[in-house]
Amino acid sequence: MKRRHALLVIGGDAPRRHALPTIGTVDVVICADSGFDHALALDLTPHVVIGDMDSIVDIDRARAHGSHVVEAHPDKDFTDTELALAHALADGATELTVLWGGGDRFDHVLGVLAALAAPDLARLDRLTAWVGDDRMHIVHGGRRVQFTIEAGRTVSLVPLAGSAHGVTTSGLRWALDDATLEGSRARGVSNVSVADIVSVSVDSGCVSVVLPAPSNDSTILEK
């Protein structure tokens, strides 16, 4: 299958510009509602804008810009982020990066995490999310992620949507070998990289591999 990398920009606080060099080549930029305004501020070209349009500054500007606008009814069962994720899959994405600045609505944070754990996303070869200065690799069952990182960095493994089974790691101080991370426990929080290559695989369930930005420097060293 041909590689197709989708970048999803969502609303809330403005994403960090320093995340852009780590994202690589993008085939399509999909914006959830006011993510359109963030994309323009980052000098990105929004190809698709989707959502109920309750927070975008000017929907006519998106149309004038040439973006494909998919307007949803406000009384819907899915968040704008979920609609954008579904659109990316239907559009043939094989890799997906979510770019989000975060925000002051904790319910939105939980909603985005729930959306990223959706089983349909397991078909993606790679799923990465930026939340403010922090980066997450989302590893669904049957998938493995490997990345380079500076030794001594904090790496947290947090299961999403219940427990994750068959979790195996390398390159971390406290290694896991076919382990279970319970959804009601914080066992995987605050591990530490001891090598410049870290890998995490999951047999079933979903794990977020969180790489917090260094507290003394927001420059992200992970590639």
- Report CA 212 to chain centroid distance, whole Å: 14
Closest CA to 190 of 154, 159, 162: 154
Distance between CA atoms of residues 49 and 62, nearest Å: 7
Sign of CA dihedral 64, 65, 67, 72: negative
pTM here?
0.92
Relative to beta strand 143-148, strand 197-202 is antiparallel
For the chain, the C-alpha Rg in angstroms (whole number) is 17
3-state secondary structure of 150: coil
Residue-by-residue pLDDT tens, the chain, 223 positions: 799 999 999 999 999 999 999 999 999 999 999 999 999 999 999 999 999 999 899 989 999 999 999 999 988 899 999 999 999 999 999 999 999 998 888 998 999 999 999 999 999 999 999 999 999 999 999 999 999 999 999 999 999 999 999 999 999 999 999 999 999 999 999 999 999 999 999 999 999 999 998 764 433 344 3
DSSP string, 187-209: TTTTEEB-SSEEEEEESBSEEEE
Residue type, 28: V
Distance between CA atoms of residues 77 and 134, nearest Å: 29
Q: Which residues contact 141 (CB under 8 A, 6 or more apart)?
A: 122, 164, 165, 166, 202, 203, 204, 205, 206
pLDDT of amino acid 143: 97
**Phi, psi (deg, nearest 5) at residue 77:** -95, -5
